[in-house]
Amino acid sequence: MAETILVKLGELTLKGGNREGFERILRRNMLAALRSVSPGFKLESRAGRIYIHCTSEEAAEKAEQALSRLAGIAGWARTRKTGKTVDEVTAACVAEGKKLLASGIQSFKVEARRTDKSFPLNSYEICKIAGDVIRTQAPELRVDVKNPEAVISVEIREKAYIYGAGKKGRRGLPTGSAGRGLLLLSGGIDSPVAGCLIAGRGMGLDAVYFHTPPYTSPQALEKTVRLAEITGSYAMGIHLYIVNFTGVQKRIAEKSPVEWSTVLLRMAMMEAASIIARKTKAKCLITGESLSQVASQTIENLSCTESRSLFPVLRPLIGMDKETITALAKEFGTYETSILPFADCCVLFSPAHPVLRGQVDEAAALYAALGLHSREVPHIQDITGLIYDALKTAEVRKCGYYLPAYDAAPKCQILEQVQLP
């Protein structure tokens, strides 16, 4: 049987003259997300709502899965669409009431809106009559107008729409309405969460992962690809740039005081990410850093790190503790992948006693010294040269354009070997 889902829009309803632009992006995202799970959906926009017409119950279930990851919607509800007669409307209300009862709900109220004034009952009368009929046919349900467990809504428009308890959406703004950013994605818990959150504020994403073969394993790479796949499914798809940072990391290990190695590595990542961001037209870099979570994330060390970035660095998790971030990772479905035990490059090279309050001047001097000539190796390449070399062999994968079930295998596709610089 054909099904209709009524979608209520989120924060974009607060927008003024530019609301239409936000709505257009939301509809485009919605259609792409829906079509990635099943063909044959039709969208209809009316009076600040979007109706999704589904060809079957199965399609409606898939649509709900897709909606759960879509930014910019306040919520949605499966809706009964009927003709505009009192009998049809009350019959649909009774069916909705019985459904609530079956799900354990005991008290309800009816709310009605009538934009078609030719309907014979006004809003108050619709509520009264529908409430009475529901009570007679489902006597276990109690009316509670002040504090009901569920609301049955009736909307009389070009058709009558009747719906009960709906589901909450991700809210926020439609992905793509706030420009593009480049996410520094590691295999940890934090950065995928940062990506999912910022995509929910409207930012389109690409991502970069730095790995260090053979010190990091192919499984560590596959794990990050999987995280990109999940993050991408919240961000309408991302391109993941995979960069071999072994040369850079070895240079840092050889030529700098060991306590500085993590901060210097982060500086090199910022420099490399900035070069990619220029190519992808990103307007900012995004990291999963949280203030003082580890030594490299004190405010002083964050200042050193971002001194090599050409773009503003957004850190959506900066004020969150690990427990909050972990809860979000579970909600987004990234947690189980993040905790797989394949070590990231940073873990392998991290010093026992890292610098805690690095100064930007000292960091800059140490960074410059990474490329200084020495008697033994007279033509040593500077660090920026090494970064360009690494980027020349970067690989790009297209991740998350489909909305996979959490347990599905990654569906990344290798696009090209890019010549980045």
Query: CA of 363: how far to CAs of 246, 272, 312, 371, in Å?
Result: 21, 17, 19, 14
Strands, DSSP E only, in 11-149? 42-46, 49-54, 73-82, 107-114, 142-143
Min dist. Cβ of residue 381 to ligand ATP (A): 22
> Which of 80, 223 has the CB closer to Mg ion?
223
Binders in 338-367 for ligand ATP, by CB under 6 A: 344-346
> Which of 108, 332 has the CB closer to ligand ATP?
332
Q: Is 230 in the site for ligand ATP (CB under 6 A)?
A: no
> Which of 174, 288 has the CB closer to ligand ATP?
288
Which helix (H) or strand (E) segment holds residue 20: the answer is: helix 19-37
Among the residue ranges 44-52, 74-82, 117-125, 182-190, the one whose residues contact ligand ATP (CB under 6 A): 182-190
Give the span between the Cα atoms of 322 and 327, in whole angstroms: 9
> Which of 153, 296 has the CB closer to ligand ATP?
296
Among the residue ranges 12-20, 80-88, 124-132, 204-212, the one whose residues contact ligand ATP (CB under 6 A): 204-212
Question: Which of Mg ion, ligand ATP, none does residue 191 bind (CB under 5 to 8 Å by kind)?
Answer: ligand ATP
Count how many residues are written for the chain. 421
Strands 204-211 and 238-244, bridge-based pairing: parallel
Min dist. Cβ of residue 366 to ligand ATP (A): 18
Q: Which residues bind Mg ion (CB under 5 A)?
A: 186, 188
**Interface map 237-266 toward ligand ATP (x if CB under 6 A):** ------------------------------
Contacts of 51 (CB under 8 A, 6+ apart): 4, 5, 6, 7, 43, 44, 45, 79, 161
Question: Which of Mg ion, ligand ATP, none does residue 288 bind (CB under 5 to 8 Å by kind)?
Answer: ligand ATP
> Which of 294, 327 has the CB closer to ligand ATP?
294
Nearest to 110 by CA among 156, 158, 162, 62: 162
Give the span between the Cα atoms of 116 and 285, in whole angstroms: 50
**Minimal CB distance to Mg ion: which residue?**
188
Q: What angle do CA 229, 190, 344 make, to 5 degrees?
A: 80
Q: Is 210 in the site for ligand ATP (CB under 6 A)?
A: yes
Min dist. Cβ of residue 398 to ligand ATP (A): 18
Residue choice 2, 145, 294, 369 for contact with ligand ATP (CB under 6 A): 294
Give the span between the Cα atoms of 309 and 284, in whole angstroms: 9
Query: CA of 40: how far to CAs of 3, 34, 35, 319, in Å?
Result: 12, 9, 7, 43
Residue choice 190, 206, 229, 271 for contact with ligand ATP (CB under 6 A): 190
Tokens of 392: 């020349």
Residues that bind ligand ATP (CB under 6 A): 184-186, 188-191, 208-210, 269, 287-289, 293-294, 296, 344-346
